[in-house]
Amino acid sequence: MSDNRNESDFDLFRLFFRYLARKLTFQHLLYFFVFVTFDIGDAVTASMMMEARGISAEYNTLVQHIFVNYGLSGLIGAKLLLIIVPLIIASTAVKNSYWFINGVLVSLSLAGLMATQANLQAMASLPHMSSMEINLLYLKILFILAAAGMIMDSYSESKEKGYSIK
C-alpha cells in the first residue's frame, strides 16, 4: 500500500515540475537569480556583517537606517519594493523591453554576487572591493547590457513590423 502511495506522490511531483518547466521562461529564471543574489544574498550577508563588525561596516546609510529600524526582513522587503517590483511592472507595461529587462536583471545579479562576496570578505577581515568599486562596475555592466538589450529589442520590433507589412 505504501508503494502505491509513493508512486502517486512521485507522479504528482513530476506533473508539478513538468508544469513549471512549461510555464517558466528565461526571464523568470533571471528574476529568481536577482532575488537570490541581489536581494537575499546581499541583504543576509550585509546584516551578518553589520552584526559582527558594527553598523558602520555598511557604507550605505539608507541600508544602515533600514537595518537598524526594521531588521533583516525590512532590508529584504525594501530591496524587493525598490528594485524587483518596479522591474516586474516595467517588463509587463512596456511590451518591447524583453532584452533590455534581461540586461538589467543580469547586471543586478552580478552586482548581488559582488556585494555578497565583498560582505563576506569584510566579515572575515579580508581585502574586498569597496562599495564605490562595485557600484561603478555595476553601472558599466548595466550600461553595456541595457544598450545591447535595447538594440536587440529594436531589431526584433523592426523585424516583426517588416513581416507584417507584406
Taking only the tens place, the pLDDT of each residue in 72-116 is 999 999 998 888 888 888 878 877 889 999 999 999 999 999 999
- What was the pLDDT predicted at 166? 45
Q: Are 111 and 60 in contact (CB under 8 A)?
A: no
Tell me the percentage of the chain whose pLDDT exceeds 90: 60
Among 23-32, 42-51, 116-125, 127-136, the range scoring the smallest mean pLDDT is: 23-32
Confidence (pTM): 0.80
**Sign of the Cα pseudo-torsion (125, 131, 136, 139, in order):** positive
Rounded to whole angstroms, the Cα distance separating 165 from 7 reads: 54
Query: Longest Cα pair distance anywhere in the chain, in angstroms?
Result: 66
Give long-range contacts, CB 8 A cutoff, 24+ apart: 146-152. Answer: 146/100, 146/103, 146/104, 146/107, 147/103, 148/99, 148/103, 149/97, 149/98, 149/99, 149/100, 149/101, 149/102, 149/103, 149/104, 150/99, 150/100, 152/99
- What was the pLDDT predicted at 93? 80
